Amino acid sequence: TEALEMVKTSATAKFDETVDVAIELGVDPRHGDQMVRGTTSLPHGTGKSLKVAVFARGDAAKEAEEAGADVVGDDDLIKRIQEGWRDFDKLVAAPDMMKSVGQLGRVLGPRMPSPKAGTVTPNVGQIVREIKTASRVEFRVEKAGIVHLPIGKASFDAQKLHENLAAVLVALYKAKPASAKGRYFKDLTISSTMGPGVRVDIQAVQALGEGKQITA
């Protein structure tokens, strides 16, 4: 909480700065069995509004539209993307669309919808709502063993940021590979977009990740 208050105080830009965390994990992502990735929902969202495009037809398309998707389509959406359209932040797909969407693999690369990221799902409406309210975040460990994630805005009170951070750490702890040895949470730094990084006591980080109650 002290670190979060320091980050909020140092966020003096003329815009509402994003609060980010960088978490160094005790894993070696070069080994496939030590890759850490997944998704979690932040109880208070990230404060950012995202544009969502959905590959769906029939009832799934209607569900996506009702949930607030910015663009919904099937073959027509595939064609738009092949022609260079990229005005979206996230792509979601109903499972029955993936045979057709698969041809976009080379074009989209890591932006492709995937079951692991939770963006290929029969529950398109639910996922669209989570993404649109910015409560859903994805995490993926980088080569150096670090995960970067937004946990809110500097305008959020420290309690909300604390609860969002706790949700992230619990999700990361649950995703800990069985082959990871030694200390799992090695370092954690919180910063705002323009502010300095503030390091957090790693024992407190470990306790939050394990779900032990530490009040904000």
Instruction: Quickly list H helices, the chain.
Output: 2-10, 58-66, 75-82, 98-101, 105-108, 124-132, 158-174, 202-209
Reported as a pLDDT band with limits 50, 70 and 90, residue 180 is confident
Quick: pLDDT tens for 65-111.
999 999 999 999 999 999 999 999 999 999 999 999 999 999 999 89
Residues 6+ apart with CB under 8 A from 139: 36, 37, 38, 39, 40, 147, 149, 168, 171, 172, 175
Contact 159, 29 (CB under 8 A): no
Contact 69, 76 (CB under 8 A): no
Quick: pLDDT tens for 108-153.
998 999 998 889 999 999 999 888 877 888 899 998 999 999 999 9
Reported as a pLDDT band with limits 50, 70 and 90, residue 189 is very high
Q: Within a 10 A sphere around the Cβ of 76, how many other Cβ atoms?
A: 9
CA distance 86 to 148: 23
The distance from CA 4 to its chain's CA centroid, rounded to whole angstroms, is 19
CA distance 184 to 210: 11
Task: Answer yes or no: is pLDDT of 1 > 60.
Answer: yes
Which is more confidently placed, 175 or 136? 175
Q: Running DSSP on this structure, what letter comes out for residue 17? A: P
Residue 54 has what pLDDT?
A: 97
Average pLDDT over residues 40-56: 90
pTM for the whole structure: 0.69
The one-letter amino acid at 81: I
